[in-house]
Amino acid sequence: NKPTVYVTRRIPSAGLEQLERACTVEVWPEKTPPSKDHFVERLSALSADGLVCLLTDDVDAEVMDASPDLRVISTYSVGYDHVDLDAAAARDIAVGHTPGVLTDTTADFAWSLLATCARRTVEGQAYVRDGEWETWQPTLLTGQDIHGSTLGLVGLGNIGTGVAKRAAGFEMNVLYSDVERHERTEEELAAAGVDITYVDQDDVFERSDFVSLHVPLLESTRGLVGEAELRRMKDDAVLINTSRGPVVDTDALETALERDWIERAGLDVTDPEPLPADHSILEYAPEKLVVTPHLASASVQTRDKMAEMAAANALAGVRGEPLPNSALDDAS
């Protein structure tokens, strides 16, 4: 009797095929997420042994109780703030995620957003498309230098470290804050030519030309960037968020853009997410704001690898084996 797995979206075939070889698989076929009622109903109807979900699915105790046979929740993401880990642990349900493979891809993207904001490329394209390009101008769309500037990182986990590593080529000073100092990582970065210093979080905001956020979404990081932090930033500084939308207080950011507390923001994650096209903060785009639709891990290679990892976690879970990448272990 094959185990049954419910998959809340069509993930790359690299992973789906692995699942289909060993399990009975039902996939929600739409682009937008299934409603909670719907996927609770399907888990229950299938008596599913496994659930493969995305970061857009709210996986709480109600979902976990839908199928008495549920043994594993495997999220196609590194972040697992959408899964109630305590509820899973209490029910002896394993939780898998996809760390590692997306670290460099996400760090690349944080850099691309940083460079876009610093050098105003999105505004440049709009200028060309709007037919405004009449001649070369001495001060047209002048931005900020990246090289030689100060990069501030809030969080020096895997992705923050990947972002720091890339700063060496730009000869930047890197400041970072975190709940604890990471001396080993500092040494490795220094050996790779990165000038990095551990400072207080307030100093990261006060002293950096670019502030990039690399913390998971936790109660302690929700609203981490609010009015006080934005006021503390230099008025020509840029804020980059590729972590989770609610780490930044959207209303405070909108005020900061309106009052020129900071120069610009680049967001790959938003609160609310998705950001509706008529949201008032978009009045500041593209001059002061660049927004992308949660793309940081979206390279073809990485999304395929994430599918394989999500499938491997689900398969181990339905077999009652330890997961190759357990969120419960990584969170503790």
Catalytic residue among 97, 214, 232, 294: 294
Closer of 151 and 262 to ligand GLV (Cβ): 151
Instruction: Return the residues of window 8-67 that contact ligand GLV according to CB under 6 A.
Output: 55
**How many residues in the chain?**
332
Applying the rule CB under 6 A, the residues between 261 and 300 that interact with ligand GLV are 297
Query: Which pair of structure tokens corresponds to residue 44?
Result: 């229950």
DSSP 100-152: TTTHHHHHHHHHHHHHHHHHTHHHHHHHHHTT---S--TTTT-----TT-EEE
Concerning whether 71 is annotated as a catalytic residue, the answer is no
Residue 221 interacts with ligand GLV (CB under 6 A)? no
Residues 6+ apart with CB under 8 A from 176: 152, 153, 154, 155, 156, 160, 164, 196, 197, 198, 199, 204
Q: How far is the CB of 229 from ligand GLV (least distance, A)?
A: 20
Whichever of 164 and 262 has its CB closer to ligand GLV, that residue is 164
Answer for which of 4, 8, 103, 201 binds ligand GLV (CB under 6 A) is 103
Which tokens hold the place of 107? Answer: 């760090």
Task: Name the active-site residue from 42, 71, 97, 244.
Answer: 244
Residue from 226, 268, 269, 231 nearest 251 by CA: 226
Q: Does 159 bind ligand GLV (CB under 6 A)?
A: yes
Q: Tell me the C-alpha distance between 313 and 3, whole Å.
A: 14
Burial call 200-239: b when 16+ CB within 10 Å, e when fewer: ebebbbbbbbbbbbbbbbeeebebbbeeebbbbbbeebbb
Residue 279 backbone zone (phi > 0: left; psi -120 to 50: alpha; other: beta): beta
- From 75-83, 129-137, 229-237, 274-282, span contacting ligand GLV (CB under 6 A): 75-83
At closest approach, how far in Å is the CB of 98 from ligand GLV? 6
Q: Which listed range, 74-82, 85-93, 221-229, 282-290, lies at the site for ligand GLV (CB under 6 A)? A: 74-82
Residue 142: CB minimum distance to ligand GLV, A: 33
Task: Indicate whether 212 belongs to the interface with ligand GLV (CB under 6 A).
Answer: no
Cα 47 to the center of its chain, rounded Å: 32
Q: Give the nearest distance from C-beta 58 to ligand GLV in angstroms.
A: 15
Catalytic residue status for 294: yes
Q: Which is nearer to ligand GLV, 99 or 223 (CB)?
A: 99
Work out whether 157 is an interface residue with ligand GLV (CB under 6 A): yes
Q: Which of residues 233-262 bind ligand GLV (CB under 6 A)?
A: none
Binders in 297-316 for ligand GLV, by CB under 6 A: 297
List the one residue out of 43, 41, 65, 45 whose CA is nearest residue 53: 43
Query: Which amino acids are annotated catalytic?
Result: 244, 273, 294
Please report, as ranges, the residues that interact with ligand GLV according to CB under 6 A: 55, 77-79, 99, 102-103, 157-160, 214, 297
